[in-house]
C-alpha cells in the first residue's frame, strides 16, 4: 500500500461522512413538509430495521402535511412507533390506511433550538473528518517508518490529506449555512 492508496481510501471515507451529515440534516425539519423528513427513518418491520422509503409511499400534498401510505397496511403501527421515537416531534394521525403528519410551523424559539442541533451535528461531522485525517496520517507515517515510502512522499501525502480534510470541512460548513438559513426562514 502506498500514499495514493491511503489518499484514495481516505477520500472515500470522507465522502461517506459528508453523506451521513447530509442525511442527518435532512431529518431536521424546517417548518415545511417534505418527504425527506421521514424517508430515511428506520422502521422496525418484522424485526428488521427498514428505511421508510422502502416500505411506503411518502407524499406532501401541501406545505404543512405529509401523507405516508405503506404498501403493507399491517406496518402502520410500526411506522407510527418509528415516527414517535424520531427527532421530528410530530404526532402521527393513523386512519387505518394511511398516516398523516401535520407539520406545524416552527416557533422562533424552536427554530433557534433546531439551529443549535444542526450546528452540533455539523461539529460532529467535522470531528469525524479530523479523526479520519489523523488515521490517514498515521498510516502514512507508518509507511515512512517501515521504509516503504520516502520522507518527501510522506510529507506530500500528509499535505494532500490536509487539503482533502479542508475541502470536506468546507462542504460541511456550506451544508450548515444552507440548513440554518432554511431553518430561520419563515
Tens digit of pLDDT for each residue in 30-69?
Answer: 667 778 778 888 888 888 888 888 999 998 888 788 899 9
The dihedral sign for the CA sequence 99, 102, 108, 109: negative
User: Cell numbers of 160, please?
Assistant: 494532500
Q: How far apart are CA 6 and CA 149, in angstroms?
A: 12
Phi and psi of 93, rounded to 5°? -115, 110
Continuous H helices in 40-184: 76-85, 108-145, 151-184
Chunked into runs of 10 residues, the chain (186 residues) has average pLDDT values of 90 94 79 77 87 89 87 89 83 88 81 87 95 95 91 93 96 93 79
Phi and psi of 52, rounded to 5°? -60, -40
The torsion of the CA quartet 42, 46, 47, 50, rounded to 10 degrees, works out to -20
What structural domains and CATH numbers belong to the chain?
A: 3-26+107-184 (1.10.132.20), 32-102 (3.30.1360.40)
Amino acid at each position: 500500500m502506498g500514499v495514493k492508496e491511503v489518499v484514495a481510501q481516505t477520500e472515500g471515507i470522507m465522502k461517506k461522512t459528508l453523506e451521513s451529515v447530509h442525511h442527518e440534516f435532512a431529518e431536521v425539519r424546517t417548518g415545511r413538509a417534505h418527504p425527506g423528513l421521514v424517508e430515511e427513518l428506520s422502521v422496525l418491520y418484522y424485526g428488521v430495521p427498514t428505511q421508510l422509503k422502502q416500505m411506503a409511499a411518502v407524499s406532501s400534498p401541501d406545505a404543512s402535511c405529509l401523507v405516508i401510505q405503506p404498501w403493507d397496511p399491517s406496518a402502520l403501527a410500526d411506522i407510527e412507533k418509528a415516527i414517535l421515537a424520531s427527532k421530528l416531534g410530530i404526532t402521527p394521525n393513523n386512519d387505518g390506511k394511511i398516516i398523516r403528519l401535520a407539520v406545524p410551523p416552527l416557533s422562533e424559539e424552536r427554530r433557534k433550538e433546531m439551529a443549535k442541533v444542526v450546528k452540533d451535528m455539523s461539529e460532529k461531522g467535522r470531528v469525524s473528518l479530523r479523526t479520519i485525517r489523523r488515521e490517514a496520517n498515521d498510516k502514512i507515517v507508518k509507511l515512512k517508518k517501515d521504509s516503504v515510502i520516502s520522507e518527501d512522499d510522506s510529507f506530500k501525502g500528509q499535505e494532500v490529506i490536509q487539503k482533502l480534510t479542508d475541502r470536506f470541512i468546507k462542504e460541511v460548513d456550506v451544508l450548515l449555512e444552507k440548513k440554518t438559513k432554511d431553518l430561520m426562514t419563515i
